[in-house]
RNA sequence: GCCCCCAUCGUCUAGAGGCCUAGGACACCUCGUUUUCACUGAGGCAACAGGGAUUCGAAUUCCCUUGGGGGUACCA
């Protein structure tokens, strides 16, 4: 039987890191087994679902390289299918109409809570007589459809990551609602919007899903869904409940944690490959302990028996390291197009010719942790990034840092800079040998240590005492006619 | 509250009874390299939650305790 898996996000927000990670595991499993990866949009909650989020999720999955084989299917296009399923359950007396009002339900829960008992529906309308039903209808009540759950029933399944998981029917909260109340004025036999558990099961059956791979937060739903599979008389798929990604504080990652949308990560300068790589590492490990791998490489070795059971805390340090590995591995030609949007977003005028830009990418590439860098308020971390490191190459006049000012103020430094300026003024172009020669000449001429010359030059050119290779920096700056003005400006201090 | 799940260095993890004086990675520290920072190389620090039981032998099996997470909707 061919493997068929699915990712089923609900479009109630931008693509979330948790959803993306579930998508990664599904993708890996599908590709490991030469199966199909299906995308289904679960938009049965019309209140919260928005088309823009659907688009956002599609774009995000594409950006991450998590291409799907079928879909996207929208549950809102499949309502008739769910209606048929509900009808079948009704016909087989496995489901019934429940007229309990929300006020009555609230009261019920309040009493249960007061008793210290678990809130649950008491199945009060499970066996209504036709007369009782007629009374509720006459009173204008719109029923929900509830699926019968046998309290005595023990539900268990073999989970691909957890082994045997069992659930008692009585812990499922009573007969479950599978369809909302129909709109007022709808016919007596109409049913309202289907609810999550019903729609999922109907779809997974219809789409011939062979393994359901989803987050651990769905375990309780699985018990309910197994009952629905049985009620519908079909084969139950295999389930794999993956550990959750926890916030650094150890809680389920929520919107409150600031950075949860995949786009937040993109904006901060993380690349897609690093993100999927890191998400894979959060819960799975390769047999050979390899940590940097492409999706394809991971897929070749992926299996659920190497997926951890415990939740994994999200760690920015490790993500930064993984991202840096990807950035360092990229050629300047690959890196440049990634860098340009960030430079432009930072307001840099990216009008230099391509060879100059490539040279800059070559220079800063090995230092990069992210494409952006600097202090991120959302994470509280500072990273070495492309915007930060290359700032001095794009801004007209660097502001002198404290240490740079101190360096420039030292005895003899002005003389050194004057010599450098004079010599450089006669060189319209400068290459590596030329730059080295220049520094050697000035060092000899001034009778100082080379380090002093270099530190002074760096301070004058960049306003900093630290930074990427000085020779290369000088060459790049001089090509853009920025070196001489900066020496001039430094002399004027 | 109730139900379910989980538990190895600060973090992600390897480990499926003897190969474990517990391995790797990130972070951190030291040294080398570098004018500097970063990269990179070498080294270091650092954990089997606690208690019972089984066994010749337990990080690995079982039980209890503790701790953590998830769930408990006419959300998904």
Taken in order of first residue, the domains within chain A and their CATH numbers are 1-72+243-329 (3.40.50.620), 80-196 (3.90.800.10), 333-492 (1.10.10.350)
A428 vs A353, which has greater pLDDT? A353
Distance A265 CA to B17 C1' (A): 45
Strand B and A48 CB separated by under 7 Å: yes
A410 vs A210, which has greater pLDDT? A210
pLDDT of amino acid A191: 80
Compute the mean pLDDT over every residue in chain A, rounded to the nearest whole number: 93
Instruction: Give the burial string for A164-182 (b: 16+ CB within 10 Å, else e).
Output: ebebebeebebbbbbbbbb
**A34 φ/ψ sector (left φ>0, alpha ψ -120 to 50, else beta):** left
pLDDT for residue A188 is more than 70: no
pLDDT of amino acid A425: 87
CB-to-strand B under 7 Å, chain A 6-45: 8-10, 12, 42, 44-45
pLDDT 10s digits, A48-73: 999 999 999 999 999 999 999 998 99
Distance A486 CA to B74 C1' (A): 69
pLDDT of amino acid A285: 96
What average pLDDT does the segment A414-438 reach? 89
pLDDT of amino acid A187: 62
CA separation for the pair A216, A406 (Å, rounded): 57
Contact A242, A303 (CB under 8 A): no
pLDDT of amino acid A393: 94
Strand B and A106 CB separated by under 7 Å: no
Which chain B positions come under 7 Å from a protein C-beta?
A: 1-8, 10-16, 23-27, 35-40, 68-76
Residue nearest to nucleotide B25 (CA to C1'): A291
Give the lowest-confidence range in A77-91, A229-243, A439-453: A439-453
Strand B and A183 CB separated by under 7 Å: no
| Angle of CA points A116, A119, A121, to nearest 5° | 140
pLDDT of amino acid A408: 85
Share of chain A above pLDDT 70, in %: 99
A200 prior amide bond cis, ω within 30? no
pLDDT 10s digits, A378-413: 888 899 999 999 999 998 888 888 888 888 888 888
Distance A172 CA to B2 C1' (A): 11
pLDDT for residue A256 is more than 80: no
pTM listed for this prediction? 0.94
Residue nearest to nucleotide B13 (CA to C1'): A285
Strand B and A171 CB separated by under 7 Å: yes
Distance A321 CA to B44 C1' (A): 21
Paired strand residues for A383 = A374
CB-to-strand B under 7 Å, chain A 227-246: 243-244, 246
Give me the residue label for tokens 């390291």. A321
pLDDT 10s digits, A461-492: 999 999 999 999 999 999 999 999 999 988 88
Write the DSSP string, A210-255.
-EEEEEGGGHHHHHHHHHHHHHHT-PPPEEEEEPPEEPTTSSBP-G
pLDDT of amino acid A259: 81
CA separation for the pair A454, A413 (Å, rounded): 11
Strand B and A447 CB separated by under 7 Å: no
How would you write A415-464 as a 3-class SS string? HHHHHHHHHHHCCCCCCHHHHHHHHHHHHHHHCCCHHHHHHHHHHHHHCC
Paired strand residues for A242 = A215
CB-to-strand B under 7 Å, chain A 256-285: 281-283, 285
Strand spans (E) along A257-397: 312-313, 374-376, 381-383
Q: In terms of Cα–Cα distance, which of A387, A409, A395, A384 is closest to A466? A: A384
pLDDT for residue A273 is more than 90: yes
Give me the residue label for tokens 């023990």. A154
pLDDT of amino acid A71: 85
A342 vs A411, which has greater pLDDT? A342
Strand B and A192 CB separated by under 7 Å: yes
pLDDT of amino acid A54: 97
pLDDT for residue A215 is more than 80: yes
Share of chain A above pLDDT 90, in %: 77
pLDDT of amino acid A280: 97
CA dihedral A10, A44, A124, A138 (to 10 degrees): 160
CB-to-strand B under 7 Å, chain A 459-478: 465-471
pLDDT of amino acid A185: 61
Distance A311 CA to B46 C1' (A): 22
What average pLDDT does the segment A165-185 reach? 90
């Amino acid at each position: 039987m061919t493997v068929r898996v699915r990712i089923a996000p609900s479009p109630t927000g931008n693509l979330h890191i948790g959803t993306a990670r579930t998508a990664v595991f599904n993708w890996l499993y599908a590709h490991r087994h030469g199966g199909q990866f299906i995308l289904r949009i679960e938009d049965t909650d019309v209140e919260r679902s928005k088309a823009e989020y659907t688009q956002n999720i599609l774009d995000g999955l594409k950006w991450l390289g998590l291409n799907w084989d079928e879909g996207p299917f929208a549950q809102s296009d499949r309502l008739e299918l769910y209606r048929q399923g509900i009808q079948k359950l009704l016909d087989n007396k496995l489901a019934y109409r429940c007229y309990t009002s929300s006020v009555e339900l609230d009261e019920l829960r309040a009493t249960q809570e007061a008793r210290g008992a678990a809130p649950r529906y008491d199945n009060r309308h499970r066996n209504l007589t036709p007369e009782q039903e007629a009374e509720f209808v006459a009173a204008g009540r719109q029923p929900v459809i509830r699926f019968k759950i046998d309290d005595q029933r023990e539900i268990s399944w073999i989970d691909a990551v957890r082994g045997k998981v069992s659930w008692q029917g009585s812990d499922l909260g009573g007969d479950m609602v599978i369809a909302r109340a129909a709109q007022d004025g709808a016919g007596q036999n109409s049913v309202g919007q289907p609810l999550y558990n019903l729609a999922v099961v109907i779809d997974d059956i219809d789409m011939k899903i062979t393994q359901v791979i989803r987050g651990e937060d769905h375990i309780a739903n699985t018990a309910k869904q197994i009952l629905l599979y049985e009620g519908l008389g079909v084969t139950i798929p295999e389930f794999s409940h993956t550990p959750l990604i926890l916030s650094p504080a150890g809680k389920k990652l929520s919107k409150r944690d600031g950075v949860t949308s995949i786009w937040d990560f993109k904006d901060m300068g993380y690349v897609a490959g690093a993100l999927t790589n890191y998400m894979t590492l959060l819960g799975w490990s390769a047999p050979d302990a390899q940590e940097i791998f492409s999706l394809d490489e991971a897929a070749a070795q992926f299996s659920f028996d190497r997926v951890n059971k415990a939740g994994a805390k999200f760690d920015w340090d490790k993500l930064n390291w993984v991202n840096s590995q990807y950035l360092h591995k990229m050629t300047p030609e690959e890196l440049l197009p990634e860098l340009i949007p960030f430079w432009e977003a930072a307001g840099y005028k990216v009008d230099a010719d391509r060879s100059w830009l490539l040279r800059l990418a070559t220079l800063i590439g090995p230092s990069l942790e992210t494409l952006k860098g600097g202090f991120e308020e959302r994470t509280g971390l500072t990273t070495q990034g492309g915007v930060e490191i290359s700032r001095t190459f794009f801004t007209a006049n660097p502001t002198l840092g404290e240490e740079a000012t101190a360096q420039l103020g030292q005895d003899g430094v002005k003389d050194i800079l004057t010599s450098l300026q004079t010599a450089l003024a006669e060189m319209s172009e400068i290459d590596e040998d030329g730059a080295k020669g220049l520094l050697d000449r000035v060092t000899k001429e001034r009778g100082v240590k080379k380090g002093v010359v270099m530190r002074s030059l760096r301070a004058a050119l960049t306003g900093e005492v630290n930074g990427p290779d000085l020779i290369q920096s000088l060459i790049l700056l001089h090509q853009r006619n920025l070196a001489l003005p900066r020496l001039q400006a430094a002399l004027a201090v």
